[in-house]
Structure 1
Amino acid sequence: MEKDKVMIVALHDKPDLIEDCAKILNEEWPRSKTARMRTIENSNPNLPISLLLIKNTQQNKDEVVGHAKISRLPLVPGTCLIESVLVNPVNRGKGFGKLLMEECEKLATQFGFSWAILSTHDKQEFYRKLGYEFCQPVCQYGAPPSSASHLLETTQPNKTSETVSKTAPCEESVLKTKTAFAQPPPLPEFTNISVPAKKVYMKKSLKQ
C-alpha cells in the first residue's frame, strides 16, 4: 500500500530536509529562496510547525513529497490555521493529501485547538469532503477584536453582501444629466483567458 511507504515528521526534527522542503513549496508557489527559508525555519515544537510527508527512495534517501503548516491565530482563541498544504504532482491521487490533513488535525487537537481554518483557491471540494465548510476570511496575525467573534460564522462561496448607498443630491443631478457624447464602442471579446480563482476560507470543528 502506498501509504505504508511514507511517514510524516516535523521539519525541526529533520533540519537536513529544509532545502528540499523549500524547493517543493517554491515549485508550487514561487518566491525567493531566502524568503521561503526564513519562513519554514520558524518550525518549532511550540508552533508554528511545518510537517513533512517523506518517502524513502530506492537509494535509501528521504524524499520530501508533501508539506503542511500549523500556526496559531492570536486573536481567535482555540483556533489554528492550516496552510501551505501541498503534495508534489507525481504523488497526487494517492491519498497523501488526506493523510497530511488528518495528521494536522490530530496535532491541532493535542495543542487544545477546537477549530481549524484554512484558505484555498481551487481545492474547495477536497476540503469539503474532509468536513470543512466556508467561513469568514481571517488574517494569520489575528483580527480586530470587534470582528474576531464573527470569523467562525458559516458563509456561502461567491456571495457578496448587497449594499445600497445613498447618493448626495449634487451627485444625483450629475448622474441624471444626459450627455451629448457618443457611446464608446464595445470592448473586444477575449477568449481562453485564465482568471485566477478567488481565495476562500474554510473551517472545521475539531471536537469529537
Structure 2
Amino acid sequence: VELIPSTSPAHPRLAELTLGSAYHPEMTLSPGSAELILDPARQPEETPSPNLAELTLEPVHCRPELLDACADLINEQWPRSRASRLHSLGQSSDAFPLCLMLLSPRPMPGAAPIVVGHARLSRVLDRPQSLLVETVVVARALRGRGFGRCLMEGLEAFAQARGFHRLHLTTHDQLHFYAHLGYQLGEPVQGLVFTSRRLPATLLSAFPRAPFPRPPSTAPSLTAQSAPRVPKGPSLPPPPPLPEPVTTSPPPPAGPLPQSLLETQYQDLRGCPIFWMEKDIRGLPRARR
C-alpha cells in the first residue's frame, strides 16, 4: 500500500459531516494544531497553506471533473501510466472500492477546487465491518501542515458514519505516525479488488485463500502397478512418483505479534519488511450531521 510519510502527535478534530445525498457525501473538516513533518528540507512558508476549516472530503466518482488532477497528485508520488491511473480511479463507487479526495476551494469564486490529498478504501474479505486503507498521499507542496492527519481522521469519520468498525493499513516506515493516530500492530487482511451487490460477502468468503488440496485420483495408480508385460524383452521400470502439490503462497508466520514497533514478521511482495496496523473506530466521537 502506498502511504504518506509524517510524524506528529497532535489531533485536529472533525467538526462537521455534511451528507448532501446518499451518492454525494461531503465532509467538512475543522482546523487543528497538527504539524505533519513530511519533508524536513522544505520550509513551511514556501507555499501558502489552504484553510483547514474549508477542506472537504469527497468521493472521486462524485467529482469526475477532478479525475485528472487526482491522477496527477498520485503520480507525483508514485509515477505510473496515466491511462492505468485514470482507469483505477474510475473504478471508485459507493459499493467500494471507493477513492476519496481531500479538497480545498480555490481563492477565486467559481474555480475548480484544489486536490490536496487522496486515499482509497476497500472492503475486507471475511470482515464485513472492516475497511482497508490504501494509496494515502498529500500534495508534496502542502506536506508538513496537518493535512495528512486531517485526511486520516476524515477517513475514520467517513467509515464510521457508514457503519464500519475497524480500519486496516500497511506501512514500511511510518508506523510511529499511525501509532500517534491510535493504530496498533495487527494481522494481515485481504482486501477485495471489487464488490458487487449481487455477490454477497458470505459467497465471497467461500473462495479459498490457498490452493485446494490435491483431490484423490480415480484412475489406477501408476506407482502401484508394474508396467504391462510384453512378449519379448525386459519389462519397463515403473514411472517416478508424482510430485507434491506446489503451494502458491507461503504459510502465515507463526508466533505472537511483535510487541515492538521496531520489528515485524511480515514482508511485502518485494521481500521488504512491512507492518500491518489497525484501529477500532467505534469509540470515536460521531461527526455532527
* Fold match by TM threshold 0.5: yes
Paired position in structure 2 for 1:45: 94
Aligned to 1:16: 65
Query: Could you say which residue in structure 1 is the equivalent of 2:125?
Result: 74
Tell me what 1:204 maps to: 279
Q: Is the 8 A contact 2:258 2:265 kept in 1?
A: no
In the alignment, which of 85, 88, 98 is matched to residue 139 of structure 2?
88
Q: 1:70–1:80: 8 Å Cα contact kept in structure 2?
A: yes
Max radius of gyration: which structure?
2
SS at match of 2:273: coil
Q: Secondary structure at the match of 1:77?
A: strand
Q: 1:93 to 1:113 in 2, by over 3 A?
A: same
Provide the aligned length of Structure 1 versus Structure 2.
Answer: 168
TM-score by length of 1: 0.71
Deviation at 1:140, TM superposition (A): 1.9
Q: 1:8-157 counterparts in 2 under 5 A?
A: 8-59=57-108, 60-141=111-192, 144=209, 155-156=258-259, 157=261
**TM norm structure 2:** 0.53
Residues 135 and 155 in structure 1, CA contact (< 8 A), matched pair in contact too: no
CA distance in 2 between partners of 1:46 and 1:78 (Å): 14
Q: Distance in 2 between matches of 1:34 and 1:129?
A: 36
1:179 alignment counterpart: none
- 1:197 deviation in Å? 6.2
User: Contact 1:47–1:70 (CA<8 Å) still a contact in 2?
Assistant: yes
- The 3-state SS of whatever aligns with 2:276 is strand
Offset, 1:89:
1.5
Q: By how many angstroms is 1:110 displaced?
A: 2.4
Unmatched tracts of structure 1, length 5 or more: 162-195
Give the superposed CA RMSD: 2.6
Q: Which structure has the higher relative contact order (CA within 8 Å, separation 6+)?
A: 2
Whether the 8 Å contact between 2:138 and 2:147 is mirrored in structure 1 is yes
Q: Go from structure 1 to structure 2 and tell me whether the alpha carbon gap of 1:90 and 1:46 turns closer, same or farther (over 3 Å shift).
A: same
SS at match of 1:50: strand
Query: What amino acid is aligned across from residue 127 of structure 1 in structure 2?
Result: Y
Unpaired runs of 5+ residues, structure 2, are: 1-30, 32-50, 193-204, 211-252, 284-289
Range with bigger deviation, 134-143 or 2-11: 134-143
Tell me if the contact between 1:75 and 1:144 (Cα under 8 Å) persists in the aligned partners: no
Structure 1 contact 68–86 (Cα < 8 Å) conserved: yes
**Distance between the aligned counterparts of 2:53 and 2:189, measured in 1?**
36
**Higher helix fraction: Structure 1 or Structure 2?**
1
Structure 2: distance between partners of 1:71 and 1:126:
22
CA contact (8 A) 2:264 2:274 kept: no
